[in-house]
Every structure is written in structure tokens, then in C-alpha cells.
């Protein structure tokens, strides 16, 4: 370690020690809980300043390393040719909120000289003029912040109910970048992660791993949709004098979530593995393409059993067999199950048709229907339902019979319970509530599609307990030309 770096670290430690000594007389006078809380918060602030001081000294030492500069400059861009853009001074914000100045950092840009096409005009930025700092990119530094700070900003904003609430949580730790910069970091990080994830899953559809997390496991997959409001600008018309914005439409959109988890032979969730959540605003085909990508990437072709749970939506069951074939799994290992609660809710809807019934009569009819449904006697259940198809009530009753008839094989609940197969899709219902409803469906909240896709990814991995994995994986993928042997894997465990 260089002597000047050691001296800088010693100086920061001395500053911390002196600051603590100055505060000791005040802290020794603490006699109540308020004073103790103040002591802890003051000490935490000093510790953050110390951590930033050491991290800043380390970063300056790395940025000034001629060998690291040369190595990153030689590897920059990978197969794409780059040319030097000189050296520049850069300001970087650290995890504790402090800003460090880095001097003479090499800058490169794409070398497009000699390529066909119209030349860029003077003073007009474009692809030929946009570049990057190889050394900072290798260290995961982007958008003027360190990777730890970028991850923390994204976590707080995704975990809070708004950008403002996320900024308030960051401000308590001495971090306040302003609304626009905070939002820019979250959007750019999430959009980059979405593009990386899409590329990973697309590649997974082309190749199968030799082995994976799902080898020999009983895998449960389920999907469902939520609701949010999309913001569609007209692009024409007068701007409002108060906000400067033009009018826009706000139609409802249905983000679809997928949930994947592993159960043991008794049907219990395997706690040593974490679930996988993800979502998209795309079509039904896009949702199943995403699901297929995850299954192939994790080696579901070697799974012991694949259990597909869902409600009665036709778009789910129309793609089940295709999903198993696309994953490379034998069709006999695929089990499809209609969620028990959704099926029972249809029975309640039917029982509400006869308005002259007393509560006791309605409960008796539902109890009989549920017994037939649980036993898998769907033909008898339909006959039981048809007894209500009398007079003007007939169309209201018979329209539900097809739901049970087409899903008869997926409603063998007694057999499923005996085989320790889950009969409820509560996992995805919970995921929709926590990922979408509690963050993206608030009153007065409207989303651009690209930003909604990014927030769906951040929230999904956050609520699945995989947020740090996503951050590390995205940072490593952002500079593949500087990939290390220990590059993290997405959804490794």
C-alpha cells in the first residue's frame, strides 16, 4: 500500500478521533433517552464522514494509478475501437453523501473515423461524441455516483411509496441529490438492468445449461396481473401555465407478474432458496417468454416436477403445454392447477343469482358445491349448478359451466392434496399486492411505460430478497470488457 495513502487514512482516523474527543464532554452528560438518541445519531454521522474519507482516499489512489489506467484503457470498449479523449477532472459522490474530486481521469470515445455516413456538425453531440471513463466504468461508477450509492438510491426509491419519500429516507443519512438527479439515477439504472435482463433471458432461450438451481426440484410457477395507470402524452396543444405540461391520457394497463419457487416432497416451501419475482407490461406471450427464459436459465429441464398454478384465465392455460416443451421438460412432469379460491369465488357468484334465497339456503348450496368441487366430481358439480338455470336466471348460471368443464383436469383438488401439490396461488396474489399495488397504483400516480418496466424489475427483486444480487449483477454486466472471474450470477441461489 502506498505511503501517501496510508498517511491519508491515518489523517482521516485522527480527524475522527479528534471529533469524538470534542463531543465526549457533551455525551457524558446524557441522562435520558432523548440525549442517548442524539448521541447515537451524532456518532453515526461522524462514522459516515470517516467512511467517506477513507473511501475517497482509496478512490483517488485507484484513479491515480497509472497501471490501472493503462489496463482499463487497453480493455475499454471490448471489440469496439475507441480513441482517446484526453484526461478530465471528475466529481464523484460517495455512499455517505460526500463528494470527492478525481483529477486527470482518462476519457475515451468511440472511434468512428473512416466509417461511412454523414459527419457530425460542430458543437452537436451524438454517438460519435459520446464517450466514457474506462477506469470509472471498471469500478462501477456511473451517473456521478459510486455503485454502492446508486444501489442504495434505487433501493430506497423502490421501497418507498414515492420518490419524495425515498429522498427523505436518504436525507436522514446525509444523502440528498435533488429530485431530478435522484429520479435520473433510478430510471437509468433500472432501464439498463431491464435491457441486461432481457438479453440474458433471450440468450437462455437459445441454449440450455448442463445443470442448474432447479435440477431434481419440484418447481411451482404462477402468474397474474395487476393494474396501474400509464401516462400517454398527446404531444400537441397548449401547455398548462401552472406546470408547463401538456394534457395527457391515463389509460389502465395490466402489468403481469411471474412467481417461481421450490417446494419439498411434502408441499412445503423450501426455505433455503429464495423465490423469483419479475414482471412486465408486455403481452401474454411476452410474459410466458420471460417465464420460459428463467426456467431454461435455471435448468428446469432437469426438474422433478413443474407445477403451473393460476386462475381460470384462458391465456395462462393455452400456453402451459408450449411452456413445458419450450423448457425441454417431459409433458408428464407438468401439473396444471386452477387456484382453489378463484374456483370457489365463482361458486359464490352463482349462488348470488337466486335473490329469493335465504342466507341458510345459499350456504347449504355452496357447501354442497364445494364438496363436489374438492372431490373433483366436476360433472356432478355442473349438474348441481344447472339446477339453478331456471327462467331468466338461466343465462346468468349456465355461462359459468364452461369454466368448470374446460378446467376439470385442473380441479382434481383431493388428488392434488394427497400428492402434496399446492392448490392456491396466494404467492402471486401477494406479489402483485406488494410489487404493484403498494407502489405503482396510488391515486394520482401515472407511469411512462419505460419507467414502469424498470420499477417492476426493482420492486420484484426487492420483495423477493434478491435486490443486492440484481445490483451486483447489473454493475458487472455494464462493463463486460472488464469482466472478472468472480462475476456474479443472477438468481444463483
Of 211 and 464, more confident: 464
Give the three-class secondary structure for 104. Answer: strand
Candidates 374, 385, 469; CA nearest to 416 is 374
pLDDT at 119 over 80: no
Q: Provide mean pLDDT across the span 455-480.
A: 95
Q: In this predicted model, which residue has the larger pLDDT, 366 or 312? A: 366
pLDDT at residue 42 greater than cutoff 80: yes
Handedness of CA 147, 153, 159, 162 (dihedral sign): negative
Average pLDDT over residues 428-455: 94
For 221, other C-beta atoms within 10 Å of its C-beta total 23
**Residue 246 has what DSSP assignment?**
P
Q: Is the pLDDT of residue 398 over 70?
A: yes
Mean pLDDT of the 1-30 span:
91
Task: Please give the residue that has the higher pLDDT: either 17 or 235.
Answer: 17
Helix, strand, coil percentages (3-state) for the chain, rounded to 5, are: 50, 15, 35
Q: Distance (Å, rounded) from C-alpha 94 to C-alpha 144?
A: 9
Q: Report the pLDDT value the prediction gives residue 217, as an integer from 0 to 100.
A: 95
Q: Does residue 447 carry a pLDDT above 80?
A: yes
In this prediction, residue 436 carries a pLDDT of 96
Q: What is the pLDDT of residue 351?
A: 94
- What whole-number distance in Å separates Cα of residue 190 and Cα of residue 451? 8
Q: Is residue 128 over pLDDT 50?
A: no
Tell me the average pLDDT across 269-297.
95
- Residue 92: what are its φ and ψ, rounded to 5°? -125, 135
Q: Say what the pTM is.
A: 0.91
3-state secondary structure of 218: strand
- Cβ-proximal residues to 243 (8 Å cutoff; 6+ apart), any chain: none
Instruction: Indicate if the pLDDT at residue 122 is higher than 60.
Output: no
Question: Helix 359-374 to helix 378-386 angle, to the nearest 10 degrees?
Answer: 160
Mean pLDDT of 197-226: 90
Checking if the pLDDT of 136 tops 50, the result is: yes
The model's pLDDT over 215-262, given as tens digits with 9 standing for 90+, comes to 999 999 999 999 999 999 876 777 777 777 778 889 999 999 999 999
The predicted model gives 450-475 an average pLDDT of: 96
**3-state class (DSSP) for residue 149:** helix
Helix (H/G/I), strand (E/B), else coil: 62: helix
Asked if residue 160 has pLDDT above 70, the reply is yes
Other Cβ atoms closer than 10 A to 68: 16
Identify the bridge partners of residue 100 per DSSP, sorted by sequence position: 92
pLDDT at 53 over 70: yes
**pLDDT-derived band at 124, boundaries 50, 70, 90:** low
pLDDT at residue 127 is higher than 80: no
User: In terms of pLDDT, which residue wins out, 123 or 409?
Assistant: 409
> Of 460 and 487, which is predicted with more confidence?
460
Average pLDDT of the chain? 91
Express as a percent the part of the chain with pLDDT over 70.
95
The CA-atom distances, in angstroms, between 418 and each of 216, 414, 422 are 21, 6, 10
Tell which wins on pLDDT, 243 or 135. Answer: 135
DSSP-assigned letters across all residues of 112-137: -TT-SSPPPPTT---TTT-EE-HHHH
Nearest to residue 114, comparing CAs of 96, 126, 135, 128? 128
Mean pLDDT for 423-449 is 94
Is 214 a residue whose pLDDT tops 50?
yes
Say whether pLDDT at 485 is over 90.
no
Decide if pLDDT at 357 tops 70: yes
Amino acid at each position: 500500500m502506498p505511503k501517501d495513502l496510508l498517511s491519508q487514512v491515518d489523517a482521516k482516523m485522527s480527524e475522527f478521533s479528534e471529533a469524538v474527543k470534542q463531543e465526549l464532554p457533551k455525551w457524558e452528560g446524557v441522562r435520558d433517552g432523548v440525549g442517548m438518541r442524539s448521541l447515537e445519531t451524532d456518532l453515526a454521522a461522524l462514522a459516515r464522514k470517516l467512511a467517506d474519507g477513507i473511501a475517497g482516499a482509496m478512490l483517488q489512489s485507484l484513479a491515480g494509478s497509472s497501471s490501472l489506467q493503462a489496463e482499463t484503457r487497453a480493455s475499454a470498449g471490448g471489440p469496439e475501437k475507441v480513441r482517446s479523449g484526453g484526461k478530465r477532472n471528475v466529481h464523484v459522490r460517495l455512499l455517505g453523501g460526500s463528494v470527492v474530486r478525481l483529477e486527470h481521469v482518462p476519457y475515451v470515445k468511440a472511434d468512428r473515423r473512416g466509417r461511412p455516413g454523414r459527419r457530425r456538425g460542430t458543437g452537436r453531440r451524438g454517438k460519435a461524441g459520446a464517450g466514457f471513463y474506462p477506469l470509472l466504468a471498471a469500478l462501477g461508477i456511473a451517473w456521478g455516483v459510486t455503485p454502492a450509492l446508486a444501489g442504495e438510491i434505487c433501493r430506497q426509491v423502490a421501497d418507498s411509496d414515492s420518490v419524495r419519500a425515498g429522498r427523505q429516507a436518504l436525507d436522514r443519512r446525509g444523502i440528498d441529490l435533488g429530485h431530478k438527479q435522484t429520479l435520473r439515477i433510478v430510471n437509468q439504472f433500472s432501464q439498463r438492468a431491464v435491457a441486461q435482463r432481457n438479453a440474458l433471458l433471450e440468450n437462455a432461450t437459445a441454449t440450455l445449461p448442463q445443470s442448474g438451481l432447479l435440477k431434481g426440484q419440484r418447481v411451482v410457477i404462477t402468474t397474474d396481473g395487476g393494474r396501474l395507470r400509464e401516462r400517454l402524452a398527446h404531444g400537441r396543444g397548449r401547455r398548462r401555465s401552472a406546470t408547463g405540461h401538456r394534457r395527457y391520457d391515463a389509460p389502465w394497463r395490466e402489468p403481469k407478474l411471474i412467481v417461481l419457487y421450490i417446494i419439498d416432497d411434502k408441499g412445503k416451501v423450501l426455505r433455503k432458496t429464495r423465490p423469483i419475482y419479475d414482471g412486465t407490461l408486455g403481452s401474454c406471450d411476452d410474459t410466458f417468454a420471460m417465464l420460459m427464459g428463467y426456467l431454461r436459465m435455471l435448468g428446469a429441464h432437469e426438474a422433478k416436477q413443474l407445477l403451473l398454478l393460476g386462475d381460470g384465465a384462458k391465456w395462462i392455460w393455452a400456453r402451459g403445454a408450449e411452456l413445458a416443451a419450450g423448457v425441454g421438460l417431459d409433458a408428464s412432469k407438468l401439473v396444471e392447477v386452477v387456484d382453489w379460491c378463484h374456483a370457489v369465488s365463482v361458486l359464490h357468484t352463482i349462488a348470488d343469482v337466486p335473490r329469493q334465497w335465504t342466507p341458510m339456503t345459499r350456504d347449504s348450496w355452496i357447501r354442497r358445491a364445494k364438496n363436489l368441487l374438492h372431490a373433483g366430481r366436476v360433472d356432478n358439480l355442473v349438474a348441481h349448478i344447472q339446477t339453478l338455470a331456471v327462467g331468466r336466471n338461466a343465462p346468468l348460471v349456465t355461462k359459468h359451466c364452461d369454466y368448470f368443464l374446460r378446467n376439470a383436469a385442473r380441479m382434481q383438488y383431493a388428488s392434488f392434496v394427497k400428492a402434496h401439490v399446492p392448490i392456491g396461488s396466494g404467492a402471486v396474489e401477494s406479489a402483485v399486492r406488494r410489487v404493484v399495488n403498494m407502489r405503482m397504483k396510488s391515486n394520482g400516480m401515472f407511469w411512462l411505460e419505460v419507467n414502469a418496466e424498470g420499477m417492476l424489475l426493482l420492486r420484484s427483486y426487492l420483495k423477493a430478497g434478491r435486490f443486492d444480487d440484481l445490483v451486483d449483477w447489473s454493475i458487472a454486466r455494464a462493463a463486460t470488457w472488464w469482466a472478472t472471474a468472480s462475476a456474479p450470477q443472477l438468481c444463483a441461489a
